Amino acid sequence: MTDLSYDQAGHLARRMGFGSPSDEINHLVSLGREQAVDSFVNFDQVDNSQLDSLIRRSFDFSNPYNFSRFNIAELERWWFTRMIYTARPFEEKMTLFWHNHFATAVSKVADLLMYLQNQTLRANALARFDDLLLKVAQDPAMLVWLDGATSVKGQPNENFARELQELCALGITDPVTGLPNYTEMDVM
C-alpha cells in the first residue's frame, strides 16, 4: 500500500470531487493511495441511499408540467443538492464535466430535456467515450440544441453532424498533423 499524506488526500478530494471535510480526508489517508483513488472511481459500489432519500423528500419531479415544482430554479437546487450531499462525488464531478463538454442550456432547451440529459450524463459518466457520444447524439436536449428539428428528409440540417464532430468529438484538425479530422462527406 502506498502512503497518502493529508495534503495529497485533500488534493485528491478536490480533483475527484468538490473537496471534503477533514474527517473524510483523514479516512482517505487511512486507505492509502490506491484504495483512496478506487473509492472515488468505483463509485457504483458506494451506497448513496442517504442522498436518494434526501432527494425524494426534498423534490417532487413526478409531474414535469407542475411548474411550481419543476422549473429551472428547482432543477438547479436539485443538482446542487446532489453535488453537496452525494457519497459519490466523482460521479457528480464527471456529470458536471460532461455537461460542460456537451454544452446545452435552458436558454434554448426545455427544463425537462435538460433534466433528462443530466440523468443520461450521470448514468454514463464513466462509459466509453464512443458509447457516451452515441447516447448524447440521441439525447433530445442535444438534438434541440443543435437544431435537429429543422432537419428534414432531403434537406438535412448539417449543424448537428458538424458541431458534434467539431466541438464534441474530433475537433476541426489533428493537433499534430494539422490535417482535417473529418470531411464534408462525413458531415453529409
Write down the pLDDT at residue 153. Answer: 85
CA dihedral 19, 25, 27, 28 (to 10 degrees): 80
Decide if 144 contacts 109 (C-beta within 8 A).
yes
End-to-end CA distance of the chain: 53
Phi, psi of 155 (to 5 degrees): -135, 60
Spatial distance between the Cα atoms of 158 and 150, rounded to a whole number of angstroms: 10
Spatial distance between the Cα atoms of 14 and 20, rounded to a whole number of angstroms: 7
Closest CA to 115 of 164, 149, 69: 69
What's the rounded mean pLDDT across residues 83-94?
97
Spatial distance between the Cα atoms of 52 and 162, rounded to a whole number of angstroms: 38
Q: For residue 116, is it within any domain? A: no
Containing structural domain, residue 26: 1-41
Q: For residue 124, is it within any domain? A: no
Share above pLDDT 70 across residues of the chain, in percent, rounded to a whole number = 100
Give the predicted TM-score (pTM) of the model: 0.90
Q: 147: Cβ–Cβ under 8 A, 6 or more apart, which residues?
A: 157, 159, 160
Domain count across the chain:
1
Range with lowest mean pLDDT among 84-93, 106-115, 140-149, 160-169:
160-169
pLDDT confidence tier of residue 185, bands split at 50, 70 and 90: confident
Q: For residue 100, is it within any domain? A: no
162 three-class SS: helix
Spatial distance between the Cα atoms of 81 and 65, rounded to a whole number of angstroms: 22
Q: What is the pLDDT of residues 153-173, one digit of tens each?
A: 888 888 888 888 888 888 999
Closest CA to 94 of 41, 140, 139: 41
Write down the pLDDT at residue 164. Answer: 83
Spatial distance between the Cα atoms of 51 and 17, rounded to a whole number of angstroms: 16
Q: Is the pLDDT of residue 184 over 90?
A: no
Closest CA to 132 of 101, 154, 176, 175: 101
Q: For residue 8, is it within any domain? A: yes
Q: For residue 55, is it within any domain? A: no
Q: For residue 129, is it within any domain? A: no
pLDDT confidence tier of residue 63, bands split at 50, 70 and 90: very high
Q: What is the pLDDT of residues 94-138, one digit of tens each?
A: 999 999 999 899 999 999 999 999 999 999 999 999 999 999 999
Q: For residue 23, is it within any domain? A: yes
pLDDT confidence tier of residue 1, bands split at 50, 70 and 90: confident
Spatial distance between the Cα atoms of 165 and 172, rounded to a whole number of angstroms: 8
Q: For residue 31, is it within any domain? A: yes
What's the rounded mean pLDDT across residues 14-26?
96
